[in-house]
């Protein structure tokens, strides 16, 4: 079980904040610009005359790998959240 005020949790929370900001910026960017580019590439690759057979075309897109890592970190955040005890107010006069 993790303590709610540990240094690890503070660093983890900052990492999750950065990942949320990344998701908030790059998801709309990918939706607006990159999905159309992928559709055009798929249309070109249907025709054997315009198909590209280069090593660059067979590699994974780095943004897909980064998005996978972000998704795994969010799953880890959910698991970490379930292992951390709730911070309950034990002494209302402290507020």
pLDDT tens track for 82-93: 776 666 556 666
| Alpha carbon distances (Å) from 20 to 34, 49, 54, 81 | 20, 42, 35, 16
Question: Tens of pLDDT along 13-35?
Answer: 899 899 999 999 988 888 888 77
pTM of the model: 0.60
| Alpha carbon distances (Å) from 72 to 2, 30, 50, 58 | 19, 19, 36, 24
């Amino acid at each position: 079980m993790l303590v709610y005020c540990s240094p690890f949790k503070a660093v983890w929370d900052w990492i999750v904040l950065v990942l949320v900001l990344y998701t908030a910026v790059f998801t709309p960017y990918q939706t607006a610009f990159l999905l159309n580019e992928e559709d055009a590439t798929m249309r070109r690759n249907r025709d054997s005359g315009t198909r590209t057979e280069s090593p660059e075309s067979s590699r994974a897109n780095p943004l897909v790998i980064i998005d996978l890592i972000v998704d795994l970190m969010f799953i880890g955040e959910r698991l970490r959240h379930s292992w951390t005890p709730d911070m309950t107010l034990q002494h209302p006069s402290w507020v």
